[in-house]
Structures are given as C-alpha cells and as structure tokens.
C-alpha cells in the first residue's frame, strides 16, 4: 500500500511543481528525490512497516514477490530518470507533467504487482496505459509521434475492451471478481471448469498478451516504439513491460491452481501447448524481423518483442525458478535497455550507419553500449546471461517440452547477429558518428550502470538474496 | 410464459435486430440512431434484472451524453457513403472467419453453462441493483478501487492538458 499511495502523492506534487517551481532544470532532481523516497517507502513495506492502515477488503494482496518487483521497477525508473531525465525537457514545456505521468505509471505498477481482484487488475492496467498514450504523443509537432499515440490508444482501448469482456465472463462463471474464489471454483468443480470461465480466461490472456506485446498481438509495438520520443520508448520498453509480465504471472497462477497443470486434458484446454505456441511465434517474429531492420531504434523495438518471448517462459513453467527468473530478467533487461536507449538518445542518426566509428570518437560511450548489447544478447558475465539461464532452467525443471529450450537457444543465437551489428559498426567501421554533447556525469552514469550489469552477471544471487530477506 | 418472459424475448429480439442494423446501415448517422435503440433495449434488460439504477445511468450516460457527442462528431466530419474507403475483399473474408470463430466460442460458452439459461429475467429478486445497496458496497467493499480510480482520472486530466494545450 505504501508504494501505491506515495507514488500517487508524488504525482500530485510534481503537478504542483510545474507552476510553483520556475526552474525547469530542477524538475528531474525533484523527481529523482521522489523516487528515492518511494523506494524507501516500498522497502519499509517489505519490512512490515505500513505508513497507512487501510482495510482493502482483500482487493490487494501484498506478497514478497510483488513488493520486491516494485522495488526493482522503482529502482529502474530512478536509474532512467538520472540518466535520461534531461532529455524529457526537449519535448514541449511540460517536463514536470511528464514526471507526474511517470509517477502515476508507477502507481499502476504497484497495483498490478499486488492485485487480488480482477477489478484492481483492470484499474491497474488502465493507470499503467493511459499515461503511456500521452507520453507517446508528447512530441506534438512530430507526425510520427502523433500517429504512434493514436495507434497505441485505439489498439489499447480495443484490448482493454477484450479484457473487460473476459472479466465479465469470468464473473458470470464464478459470481466474483476475487482471484481466490476463481481458484476455489476450479477446485470445487474438480475436473472441468465451466466454459464461461475458460472463455473469460482466454479473453484475459489475449489482452494481457497484447500488453506485453507477444505475437500475434505485437503489431502495435514497432510503430509505437519507433514513433514515440526515444526517452519515453525507453521507459515503455522496460518498467512497463516488466510490470505487464508480473500481472500476467499472477493471472497464470490462477490457471495453475485451477488446473494443477497436469489435468490439462480434463480441463479441455492444453495451456502449456498454448503458451509454447505463443512463445515460438513471439521469438520467431521478434528475432527474424529484427535482423532486417535498418534503424537501431526499430531494431530495439523488435528485439523487445524477442525478449518478451523469453520472459513468456516464466508463464509457461510457473515454478519457483520461473519466479526468480522473471525478477532477474526484469533487472537485467530493464537496466540494459535503459542504458542502450540513453546512448541512443544522444545519437543524431538512429540508423546503423550512424554508429559507424563511435568507438574512436566516444570510447566510453561505445564500451558501455557494447556491455548493454552483450547483456541483451545473453553473453556470459553479463546480467542477461543469467536471466536467460533461469528462464530456460525453469522450463527444464517442468520435465517436458525440452524441444522448446532448443528452439529458444537457436533464436538467442539469431539475436546475437543483430546486436553485434551495432558493435561492429561502432568498432570496425569508419565513419563520423555524430553525437550530442556528452557530459562527464552522463559518462559516469553509464560506467556505473555497466558495472552494475556485470556485477549482477557475476553474482545473480545478489538480486535474489534480497528477495528472500 | 408470463409477461416478463415475453418482455425479455421482445427486448432481446429488438436488441439483436438493432445491433445488426448498426452494422448494416450505410449511413453513419443511421448507425448511431440504431445504436441508441440498442442501448434502450439493454436498459430494458437491466430493469428486468432488477437493476434500476444501472438502467437509468445507461440511458443518461450512453444514450444521452455519449451518443449525442457521437452524432455531433459524425455530422461535423460530414461522412457519407461515397467517402467510405474500398475494403480489400480478402480482409473482409478474414474478418468474417475470425469474427465467426469468436461468435461460435461465445455461443457455445453461453449454451454450455446450465445455470444461466434459467435466469432470463429476475425481476424483484435480490436488491443489489438498487441505488442504496450500490452506494453501500461502493463505499465499503469497493472503497479501495473506487479511490484508486481517482489516480486514473487524474492522469487522464493531466494528459488532456498536456496534449490539448497550445505550446
């Protein structure tokens, strides 16, 4: 509860800052301070210290897993604001409002990591999405940004409609919005759930798959990520996407308890096969299309679809290893993507040619960029390696579908190709990569971030130990 | 078959017919007018389910406010049948197939659940749809989602200002 309320309050404070604080440059410092207090408030919640005593009538359930994910999301946002907060001031005069919207997104993230009632799921998804539509269209003079925002809004509204339909059907089947009652209904029925619930669950899955951009519901992703201002793409592709996965996992746990995973056949739907198909489609579309991109920004959009394919493994296997894995994956993927986008924002040309010869002009930038790309590709000694390792290990632990692991490894190999194209352009090609002015503090930030990625890559238990204590 | 059941079937037929007319009408203004008929029929269903408050809100908000806005927009844009872009026939076929699959799934879901069939109309059964009880649950059981949705509206308002105001 701490994180939900404190983030909403900070959103309001940032709104007031926009007309009370005249110095535009100080917004991001205020926001960073706010994120720090938010992080502290959330950690207090983990330790059992509640700032607010609210009877939520079992609408929210604060598990250790969800709260820990909150900390990861808030920390990633803090890193994001510190590294790229300055860029936000370029788009219109509403810098403080952008921070407001980011705080509201974090409020949605905290709701999604704790929901225990499908009404809260709906509200959480909406609080998460609506600020994003606005951030996507914040570059008002740019036609591409406008198009992306409209596309995102229309498609998002449609998928929300499907979600509501699914929730309504599940309500029709069970007579309640509570997740545990849905579970209990599945157990009481023993073998077969009512068809209404299965249909409702399928609808919910479709709309959640849309939110995390799993194929074949990914069509909005490249256009929106490409059209949105680069700073906000970075936020959308990291914190928001990971939050979508956390919400999805909670929903899948309902499925697991209902069906026990083993009685899929009596249930009528083979969920594991369904997810296996979803994963393969997502990996295929993401990786193969990314290979053919000419713009690094668009390549990263497709690569984010491919990464979503890997995160879907957690939903496929749904065991302890998968839950640990999704936390490590969120950290590894968020940090690396925030880093690479921070570099991308500074580039003048977003094509692969634009990176030619960057290593000679900006060696620190190129080196940091290389580490981020290696982490995204999943090379050992970076955080990305253990993220992928946990995901695949969780599938092996389920004891079946080993062929899925082999396919995933093959696609990971494909992904190395397009990530290395950037590294090749930076180090082995001659050219005049033009960047905007790079400040020493930005360089220091990148170096620290790369160090963090390598640290997590060497000791992934660093992330997980906090989860248990 | 008493009067309530006859009402139920009449309203259902009206709602389905009007909904099909929304899709079939070439003129967008006619579509909107048929949509208003759909909303009236659905409101009738709400009354049959003993949810008077919902029925009235549905009429005031949807048939009243939102549909009038719809009409305004359509009239301002001056859409007519000629301006309708030609659609690819493949897209039409794919649309029909996927829509048909969805319809089959929903119909089979509705048919297979036994407990719904008997509850076509539950007039005077239960009082959860009355405004007094609705208010009570909203401010006790559902207080948390009620309050948190204020964040949603606040972010939408901030968004409206950011997007709508001149730089």
Could you tell me which residue, A80 or B5, shows the higher pLDDT?
A80
The pLDDT of residue B128 is above 80: no
Taking only residues 148 to 167 of chain B, the set having a beta carbon closer than 8 angstroms to any beta carbon of chain A reads: 148-149, 151-152, 154-156, 158-159, 161-163, 167
- How far apart CA A391 and CA A241 sit, in angstroms, is 17
Tell if the CB–CB gap between B113 and A194 is shorter than 8 Å. Answer: yes
- pTM over 0.95? The answer is no
A211 within a domain of the structure (yes/no): no
Angle, alpha carbons A106-A119-A52 (nearest 5°): 55
| All residues at 6 or more sequence positions from A151 whose CB lies less than 8 Å from its CB, including other chains | A220, A223, A224, A227
Tell if the CB–CB gap between A59 and B151 is shorter than 8 Å. Answer: no
A276's enclosing H/E stretch is: helix A271-291
Alpha helix ranges (H) inside A175-240: 179-189, 195-211, 220-227, 230-235
pLDDT at A191: 47
A392 within a domain of the structure (yes/no): yes
pLDDT at A129: 93
A457 and A58 Cβ atoms separated by less than 8 Å: no
Structure tokens at A409: 């490894």
A224 and A136 Cβ atoms separated by less than 8 Å: yes
Tell if the CB–CB gap between B155 and A137 is shorter than 8 Å. Answer: no
- Please measure the distance between the N-terminal and C-terminal CA atoms of chain A and give it in whole angstroms: 19
A350's enclosing H/E stretch is: none
Q: Is A21 helix (H, G, I), strand (E, B) or coil?
A: coil
Is B142 in CB contact (< 8 Å) with chain A?
yes
| All residues at 6 or more sequence positions from A348 whose CB lies less than 8 Å from its CB, including other chains | A354, A434, A435, A436
Q: What is the dihedral of CA A65, A127, A33, B144, to 10 degrees?
A: -70
A242 within a domain of the structure (yes/no): no
A355 and A348 Cβ atoms separated by less than 8 Å: no
Chain B positions in Cβ-Cβ contact with residue A177 (cut-off 8 Å): none
A251 and A204 Cβ atoms separated by less than 8 Å: yes
CA-based nearest residue in chain B for residue A7: B151
A317 and A398 Cβ atoms separated by less than 8 Å: yes
- How far apart CA A153 and CA A156 sit, in angstroms, is 5
Q: CA-based diameter of chain B, in Å?
A: 64
Nearest CA distance, B162 vs chain A (angstrom): 7
- How far apart CA B46 and CA B30 sit, in angstroms, is 25
Q: Using CB atoms, which residue from A59, A131, A196 is nearest to B145? A: A59
- Please measure the distance between the N-terminal and C-terminal CA atoms of chain B and give it in whole angstroms: 64
- How far apart CA A171 and CA A158 sit, in angstroms, is 20
| Per-residue buried b or exposed e for A372-401, using 16+ beta carbons within 10 Å of the residue's own CB | bbbbbbbbeebbbbbbbebbbbbbeebeeb
- How far apart CA A391 and CA A312 sit, in angstroms, is 9
Structure tokens at A180: 């545990």
- How far apart CA A213 and CA A244 sit, in angstroms, is 9
Chain B positions in Cβ-Cβ contact with residue A137 (cut-off 8 Å): 163
Chain B positions in Cβ-Cβ contact with residue A56 (cut-off 8 Å): 144
pLDDT at B86: 67
A290 and A419 Cβ atoms separated by less than 8 Å: no
B74 and B29 Cβ atoms separated by less than 8 Å: yes
As for the ipTM of the complex, it is 0.87
A461 within a domain of the structure (yes/no): yes
Number of neighbours of residue B39 by Cβ within 10 angstroms: 19
Number of neighbours of residue A35 by Cβ within 10 angstroms: 25
For residue A143, CA distances in Å to A89, A229, A399, B2 come to 19, 11, 50, 60
- Which residues of chain A register pLDDT less than 70? 182-194, 254-269, 467-469
Alpha helix ranges (H) inside A380-460: 383-398, 402-428, 440-458
- How far apart CA B164 and CA B166 sit, in angstroms, is 7
Can you tell me which residue has the tokens 């759930």?
A: A193
pLDDT at A263: 45
Can you tell me which residue has the tokens 């001149």?
A: B166
pLDDT at A265: 43
| Per-residue buried b or exposed e for B50-67, using 16+ beta carbons within 10 Å of the residue's own CB | bbeebbebbbeebbeeeb
Q: pLDDT digit string (tens) for A285-306? A: 999 999 999 999 999 999 999 9
Could you tell me which residue, A41 or B119, shows the higher pLDDT?
A41
The pLDDT of residue B51 is above 90: no
Nearest CA distance, B113 vs chain A (angstrom): 6
Tell if the CB–CB gap between B145 and A104 is shorter than 8 Å. Answer: no
pLDDT at A25: 84
- How far apart CA B42 and CA B37 sit, in angstroms, is 9
A424 within a domain of the structure (yes/no): yes
A41 and A51 Cβ atoms separated by less than 8 Å: yes
Mean pLDDT over B10-33 rounds to 90
Is B109 in CB contact (< 8 Å) with chain A?
yes
CA-based nearest residue in chain A for residue B160: A134
Q: pLDDT digit string (tens) for A437-458? A: 888 889 999 999 999 999 998 8
Taking only residues 110 to 139 of chain B, the set having a beta carbon closer than 8 angstroms to any beta carbon of chain A reads: 110, 112-113, 116
Chain A positions in Cβ-Cβ contact with residue B110 (cut-off 8 Å): 196
Tell if the CB–CB gap between A11 and B154 is shorter than 8 Å. Answer: yes
| All residues at 6 or more sequence positions from A268 whose CB lies less than 8 Å from its CB, including other chains | A192, A193, A198
Tell if the CB–CB gap between A130 and B141 is shorter than 8 Å. Answer: no
A413 within a domain of the structure (yes/no): yes
A326 within a domain of the structure (yes/no): yes
Q: How many domains does chain A have?
A: 1
Q: Which domain holds residue A411?
A: 270-469
Is B106 in CB contact (< 8 Å) with chain A?
yes
């Amino acid at each position: 509860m701490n994180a939900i309320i404190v983030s909403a309050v900070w959103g309001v404070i940032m709104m007031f800052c926009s007309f009370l604080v005249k110095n535009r440059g100080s917004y991001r410092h205020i926001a960073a301070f706010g994120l720090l207090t938010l992080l502290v408030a959330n950690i207090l919640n983990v330790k059992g210290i509640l700032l607010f005593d609210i009877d939520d009538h079992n609408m929210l359930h604060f598990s250790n897993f969800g709260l820990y994910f909150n900390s990861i999301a808030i920390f990633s946002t803090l890193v994001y604001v510190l590294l790229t907060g300055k860029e936000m001031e370029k788009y219109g005069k509403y810098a403080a409002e952008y921070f407001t919207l980011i705080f509201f997104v974090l409020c949605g993230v905290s709701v999604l990591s704790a929901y225990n009632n499908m009404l809260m799921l709906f509200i959480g998804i909406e609080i998460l999405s609506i600020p994003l539509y606005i951030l996507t269209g914040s570059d008002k003079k740019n036609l591409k940004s406008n198009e992306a925002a409209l596309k995102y809004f229309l498609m998002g509204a449609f998928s929300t409609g499907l979600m509501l339909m699914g929730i309504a059907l599940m309500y029709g089947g069970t007579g309640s919005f509570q997740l545990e009652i849905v579970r209990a209904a599945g157990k009481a029925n023993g073998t077969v759930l009512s068809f209404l619930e299965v249909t409702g669950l399928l609808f919910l899955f479709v709309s959640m798959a849309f939110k995390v951009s799993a194929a074949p519901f990914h069509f909005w992703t490249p256009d929106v990520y490409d059209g949105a201002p680069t700073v906000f793409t970075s936020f959308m592709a990291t914190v928001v996407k990971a939050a979508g996965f956390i919400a999805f996992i909670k929903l899948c746990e309902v499925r697991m308890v209902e069906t026990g995973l083993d009685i899929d056949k009596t249930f009528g739907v083979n969920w594991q096969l369904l997810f296996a198909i979803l994963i393969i489609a997502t990996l295929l579309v993401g990786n193969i299309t990314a290979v053919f991109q000419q713009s690094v920004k668009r390549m990263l959009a497709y690569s984010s679809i491919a990464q979503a394919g890997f995160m879907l493994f957690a939903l496929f296997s749904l065991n302890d290893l998968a839950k640990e894995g999704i936390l490590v994956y969120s950290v590894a993927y968020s940090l690396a993507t925030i880093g690479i986008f921070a570099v991308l924002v500074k580039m003048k040309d977003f094509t692969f040619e634009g990176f030619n010869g960057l290593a000679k002009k900006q060696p620190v930038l190129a080196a940091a960029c290389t580490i981020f790309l290696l982490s995204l590709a999943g090379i050992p000694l970076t955080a990305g390696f253990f993220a992928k390792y946990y995901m695949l290990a969780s599938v092996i632990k389920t004891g079946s579908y080993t062929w899925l692991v082999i396919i995933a490894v093959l696609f990971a190999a494909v992904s190395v190709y397009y990530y290395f194209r950037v590294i090749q352009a930076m180090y082995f090609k001659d050219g005049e990569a033009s960047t905007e002015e790079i400040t020493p503090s930005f360089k220091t930030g990148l170096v620290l971030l790369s160090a963090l990625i390598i640290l997590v890559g060497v000791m992934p238990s660093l992330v997980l130990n906090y989860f248990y204590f | 078959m008493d009067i309530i059941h006859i009402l139920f079937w009449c309203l259902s037929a009206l709602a389905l017919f009007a909904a099909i007319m929304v899709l079939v009408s070439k003129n967008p203004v006619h579509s909107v007018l048929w949509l208003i008929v759909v909303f009236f029929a659905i409101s009738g269903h709400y009354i049959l389910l003993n949810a008077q408050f919902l029925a009235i809100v549905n009429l005031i908000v949807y048939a009243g406010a939102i549909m009038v806005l719809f009409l305004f927009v359509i009239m301002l844009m001056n859409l007519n049948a000629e301006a309708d872009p030609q659609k690819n026939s493949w897209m039409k076929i794919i649309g029909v197939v996927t829509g048909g699959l969805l319809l089959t799934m929903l119909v089979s879901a509705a048919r297979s659940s036994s407990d719904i069939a008997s509850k076509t109309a539950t007039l005077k059964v239960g009082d959860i749809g009355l405004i007094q009880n609705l208010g009570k649950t909203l401010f006790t059981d559902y207080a948390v989602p009620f309050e948190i949705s204020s964040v949603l509206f606040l972010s939408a308002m901030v968004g409206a200002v950011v997007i709508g105001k001149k730089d």
